[in-house]
Amino acid sequence: KMPDPEFSWNDRDVILYNLGVGAKRKELRYVYENDSDFQVVPTFCHLPTFNSVKSQATFAALLRNFNPMLLLHGEHYLKINKFPIPIESTVVTSYQPLAVVQKGTNTIVVQGSKSVDKATGEELFENEATLFIRKCEGDTKKYAERRTFATQPFNAPKSEPIFTKDIITSDDQAALYRLTGDRNPLHIDPDFAAGANFDKPILHGMCTYGLTAKVLLDQFGPFNEIKGRFTGIVFPGETLRVFAWKEGDVVTFQTHVVDRKTIAINNAAIKLVSDKSKL
Ligand code: HDC
């Protein structure tokens, strides 16, 4: 039996992640370890779940004809149970399948994970990753309850958004972002991307998610839950446009690809925390 994987990070990983999701040199709280408000963009907390062989082995065991080349990230939910998110730590992550749904020739797998502080055993965060796998088979089954926030539709309201922000991604965005841990060749290797039916490598879904989370954090302040669906691909170099609507402590958002008039992230929201110390 494979042991639950450990994942360690320090200030270097924090800065690299922040740069990967759009932090600029003058935003010292994201790029300078000696800044009094030095912090990591909270979506960092999914990284431990993406960095292990055990993660893939757990959901692959439920599938037939699984070709990793045909896997796309479909949705992602993250819940942070404790602030501040450490700048340096080691967590141990356990995985649990939550659901398998067969949709025509595609299989959707939802995989849950919990990451605990290795030193204290405290649960720091949990993730639910939905994977959309083309030309695959699995038996539709619900394995465990999901978090309410993870399964809400969060449709964009008809009203005008209260916040709009453009994000210009770099042609090299995926080449940089992959160093945070997800080395999937889909994001760098043109031949692999062609095998997956794309004209060129596509951006990591979690990079678009992190880029969006950063501008929402800057505008609305800290959040402890985030959910979104990846409804369209992004190519590195494209300009994203984030739209947001606020109702109480929930900010619903969409991330559009300006160049192609498509929606990259939809059915998405963050849950704001007014007082992080109360968590
Ligand atoms: O929406 C389409 C698409 O292309 N989305 C973009 C996907 C994307 O770019 N993802 C990010 C990049 S991939 C990535 O980053 C991988 C990463 O490196 C590794 C992650 C692995 C981590 C493992 C650790 C745990 C597409 C193709 C997803 C769906 O489009 P269509 O086939 O046109 O689907 P549609 O006809 O609209 O709907 C069919 C049924 O599927 C459901 N559905 C649609 N999009 C979904 C989705 N379910 C989950 N997630 C999505 N994104 C629909 O609801 C529909 O179901 P129903 O028939 O019941 O209504």
In eight-state DSSP terms, residue 51 is S
Cα 46 to middle of ligand 1, angstroms = 18
Q: How far apart are CA 85 and CA 46, in angstroms?
A: 12
Of 50, 106, 132, 135, the one to substitute when testing ligand 1's pocket (max ligand atoms within 8 A of C-beta) is 132
- Residue of 85, 108, 133, 202 with catalytic role: 202
Is the pLDDT score of 182 beyond 70?
A: yes
- Residue of 46, 73, 76, 187 with catalytic role: 187
Atom of ligand 1 nearest to the CA of 203: 12
Cα 265 to middle of ligand 1, angstroms = 11
SS3 content of the chain, % helix, strand, coil (to 5): 25, 35, 40
Over residues 16-36, mean pLDDT: 98
Q: Which ipTM value was assigned to this complex? A: 0.98
Over residues 120-124, mean pLDDT: 97
* Range name among 51-55, 140-144, 249-253 with the lowest pLDDT average: 51-55
Band of pLDDT at residue 120, cut at 50, 70 and 90? very high
Q: How far apart are CA 171 and CA 175, in angstroms?
A: 8
162 is catalytic: no
Over residues 113-128, mean pLDDT: 98
Cα 230 to middle of ligand 1, angstroms = 6
Q: How far apart are CA 72 and CA 10, in angstroms?
A: 29
Band of pLDDT at residue 278, cut at 50, 70 and 90? low
- Residue of 20, 74, 181, 205 with catalytic role: 205
Look at ligand 1, atom 24, and give the residue with the nearest C-alpha: 50
Q: Give pLDDT tens digits for 61-98.
A: 999 999 999 999 999 999 999 999 999 999 999 999 99
Is the pLDDT score of 51 beyond 80?
A: no
Band of pLDDT at residue 277, cut at 50, 70 and 90? low
Cα 72 to middle of ligand 1, angstroms = 6
Determine if residue 154 is left, alpha or beta; phi over 0 gives left, psi from -120 to 50 gives alpha, anything else beta. Answer: left
* Average pLDDT of the chain, as a whole number: 96
Cα 232 to middle of ligand 1, angstroms = 8
Q: For CA atoms 200, 197, 267, 51, give the dihedral sign.
A: negative
What tokens were used for 275?
């007082």
pLDDT for 52:
86
- Output the CA torsion 114→5→15→185 (10° steps): -100
Ligand 1 environment, Cβ below 6 A: 49-50, 55, 72-75, 103, 108, 111, 129-132, 182, 184, 186, 202, 204-205, 229-233
Q: How far apart are CA 161 and CA 199, in angstroms?
A: 33
- 279 vs 208, residue with greater confidence: 208
Q: Is the pTM of this model over 0.90?
A: yes
Over residues 139-148, mean pLDDT: 98
Tell me how crowded residue 184 is: count the other CB atoms within 10 A of its CB. 19
Q: How far apart are CA 56 and CA 196, in angstroms?
A: 18
187 is catalytic: yes
- Output the CA torsion 266→271→276→279 (10° steps): -120
Look at ligand 1, atom 33, and give the residue with the nearest C-alpha: 231
Cα 261 to middle of ligand 1, angstroms = 18
Atom of ligand 1 nearest to the CA of 204: 15
Band of pLDDT at residue 274, cut at 50, 70 and 90? confident
- Residue of 13, 138, 182, 256 with catalytic role: 182
